[in-house]
Amino acid sequence: MDAPLQAWRRLNRWLLPWRCLLCGDAGADGLDLCAACAAELPRNTRCCARCALPLASPAAMCGACQRRPPPWDAAWAPFRYGWPLDRLEARFKFGRDLAAGRALAELWRRLPSPTERPALILPVPLHRARLRQRGYNQALELARPLGRAFGVPVRHGLLVRARATAAQSELDAAARRRNVRGAFAVRTGPALPSHVAVLDDVMTTGATLAECVRALKRAGAQRVDVWALARAPTPGRSG
């Protein structure tokens, strides 16, 4: 970071000190969260090694992965989608609260990361209409600080929405898969690096990420990892 920008940030922080976005106490550790609230964010340490589905105890493959192996090569979702992370995520995604997104990205990048780094991070794209309505792509906002921290370039606009899809939140697993089938495409251009990661904010059934992975593999990527801030516990669902 250059000196004027650093000085500007210091001045800003003096005028606007870190404040916990959840309880209003003083922030800690260079975050807009206090230490107690940050510690409450549920970590996804016990999960399926293949798809990061939260489990009671860690497993190499959950039942869903055994029935239907996912198309990606590795998954990294360090948090569980639950209280109080869901509050920050809702503010970030639906409340135009970019400070909540910055705090989430900062927490994410501080966690132990996969040792085999991709050569490129591709955020899950939003359809134009949704992007216009929201004003930003939450996946891209999370990807940028992560990419900077890991020294991995972030490319948006390479993986694109081929068509608009209905919101996934109201659909069951099978309907989610149908809803996103063929929804993504990779722009033609220079060859993709052999190892890339596709990044989203929350992974629920994984249908959206799986469809992105298929598009990237069709476009020539050899290894595609999926990265999500949080994985929702969805027992009994697959895909």
Task: Give, for 199, the enclosing helix (H) or strand (E).
Answer: strand 195-203
Q: How far is residue 84's CA from residue 22's CA, in Å, rounded to a whole number?
A: 8
Minimum distance from CB of 66 to Zn ion (Å)?
8
Q: Cβ closer to Zn ion: 65 or 221?
A: 65
Minimum distance from CB of 25 to Zn ion (Å)?
5
Q: Give how many residues touch Zn ion by CB under 5 A.
A: 12
Chain residues 17-36 in contact with Zn ion, contact rule CB under 5 A? 20, 22-23, 25, 34
Distances (CA, A) of 203 to 137, 209, 235: 15, 8, 13
Task: Give, for 148, the enclosing helix (H) or strand (E).
Answer: helix 138-150
User: How many CA within 13 A on the CB side of residue 14?
Assistant: 6
Q: How far is residue 90's CA from residue 84's CA, in Å, rounded to a whole number?
A: 10
Q: Cβ closer to Zn ion: 193 or 233?
A: 233
77 belongs to the binding site for Zn ion (CB under 5 A): no
Binding mask 214-233 for Zn ion (x = CB under 5 A): --------------------
Q: Name the site residues for Zn ion (rule: CB under 5 A).
A: 20, 22-23, 25, 34, 37, 48, 50-51, 53, 62, 65
